[in-house]
Structure 1
């Protein structure tokens, strides 16, 4: 059963969360990170080539399965559970999500949660680790290649973190060894397809920080950079409804309607809620959403929203139709 949160953030409350605005800055490159990221991406490109030339089909399917599990580990675990506490999870689900998140290996859960809470509290300012006002490349991956801004360091020290890290070799070693042991894949193929899967997970997650802060519509809050980006939502299993998420970060769906076919993460959480492993799922009432859209949205509301006879299925269908219109324009 989901719990509806009736609280609607006022402009005054929202302004209190704003940090210092971005200014000119000389970047200090971390060359070790630059070399590591360059190798990862070159190895991933080679892994993609091997998928079409010599890799076994079982290895490709195995890599894709790990990609899905790892991405949900980030979206349902590090993001919706530990960063925002949009729902509660019993121990078996917590362990499962920690393992899945480790396959993605985007630093420890503690680091991920700290950076993400900074991103929300000081969104698109100097205290935001991946400040989108500094451009696509910086918000996508550049922030990991340079020294942290002093505001990020200062504000990061006061963030409250409650998470249990689980870091291990399961991101690289097991995904490489399993294909070699069980279906005699070569080390070259197994390793480079592991790198392909890993880099895909990284870049898809990074798109939420970059593309979803630069392109899309803003029906909930036109004053912020985060936007509704359908393409990012598909790639990240529901994380691209970003204008909604920044307006209502406590909603476990990260989207107004759930949009189950574009939001695999919500489906995942709903399934475990059904079997009792997830509970206290938080959502936002339709009235609160409507008031926020009328007060701060850019006017791109869904057609027929006020029609009391419109079913939930019709509303969800309108999301896809609206996305197609935006794409054509």
Structure 2
């Protein structure tokens, strides 16, 4: 649930507009996003759009060319490079604040984080099956939060450094199996940066991508519409033109 608030919510829905979600699903994803505690939807999506627009330059908030540590966590410890701020201001983010769910979450973000990230994960195991508050807090809340942060950060670091590039060998993002497993489908990163509009963030098929499975299930329930996909012909043509020849 924590991961879906980022992968299906802040990333694929709000950052890339790769599909449309009805109000009940947007509310669920906003709550899950508060559980993830990785900045509110507006700020997360704003930084991510800047990252895609200016990837691997000084205007990229977590520029992987500055090293693994910087792109993984170091970028959160320092002031943003002036290019991130200056060039980021040139992008349009009005569509984000046009969504009342995004505005509500942003307005009440701190209180929603306390509730969703810390209180509920602690209280539910304690109340429903008698777990001690100590275990519930440090496992279901703190350990879960720590793991979810790091698997997300690995998309910015490891998936920009290690792996193959079957779609575009001229960009840094890679296909990384380890990151795919940890970040429930976000490790097909060479594909994603080549076709950022695709709701699946990977070629459709039997590959491990729980986020895509979730979105497809929501589509089946009628809560998702307008899923955007890259045509197979486009994918194959791009592989032949710019790919590194790997599978």
TM-score normalized with structure 1 length = 0.68
Are residues 1:279 and 2:229 paired? no
User: 1:197 aligns to what?
Assistant: 144
Compared CA separation, residues 247 and 94, structure 1 to 2 (3 A): same
Instruction: Give the Cα separation in 1 of the matches to 2:147 and 2:9.
Output: 18
Q: Which secondary structure state, in structure 1, belongs to the residue aligned with residue 201 of structure 2?
A: coil
User: 2:234 aligns to what?
Assistant: 288
Q: CA deviation at 1:178?
A: 2.5
User: 2:99 aligns to what?
Assistant: none
CA RMSD of aligned residues (A): 1.3
Q: CA deviation at 1:188?
A: 2.3
User: 1:92 aligns to what?
Assistant: 24
Provide structure 2 residue ranges, at least 5 long, that are not aligned to the other structure.
Answer: 97-101
User: 2:81 aligns to what?
Assistant: 149
Are residues 1:242 and 2:174 paired? no
Instruction: Give the Cα separation in 2 of the matches to 1:185 and 1:289.
Output: 49
- Between structure 1 and structure 2, the one with the greater Rg is 1
Q: CA deviation at 1:257?
A: 2.6
Q: Which secondary structure state, in structure 2, belongs to the residue aligned with residue 101 of structure 1?
A: helix
Give the counterpart of 2:161 among 214, 222, 229.
214
- Count of aligned pairs between the two proteins: 232
- Deviation per CA, 1:56-85, whole angstroms, max 9, x where unpaired? xxxxxxxxxxxxx01011100100000000
Are residues 1:270 and 2:213 paired? no
User: 2:243 aligns to what?
Assistant: 297
Give the counterpart of 2:174 among 222, 227, 234.
227
- Deviation per CA, 1:92-119, whole angstroms, max 9, x where unpaired? 1111111111111100000100010011
Instruction: Give the Cα separation in 2 of the matches to 1:177 and 1:99.
Output: 16
User: 2:125 aligns to what?
Assistant: 179
Instruction: Give the Cα separation in 1 of the matches to 2:128 and 2:234.
Output: 53
- Deviation per CA, 1:150-189, whole angstroms, max 9, x where unpaired? 1111122232223315221211122122233333433322
Instruction: Give the Cα separation in 1 of the matches to 2:219 and 2:124.
Output: 31
Provide structure 1 residue ranges, at least 5 long, that are not aligned to the other structure.
Answer: 1-68, 303-329
Instruction: Give the Cα separation in 1 of the matches to 2:125 and 2:202.
Output: 37
Instruction: Give the Cα separation in 2 of the matches to 1:126 and 1:294.
Output: 30
Q: Which runs of 4+ in 1 moved over 6 A?
A: none
TM-score normalized with structure 2 length = 0.90
**Kept in 2: contact 1:258–1:266 (CA 8 A):** no
User: 1:8 aligns to what?
Assistant: none
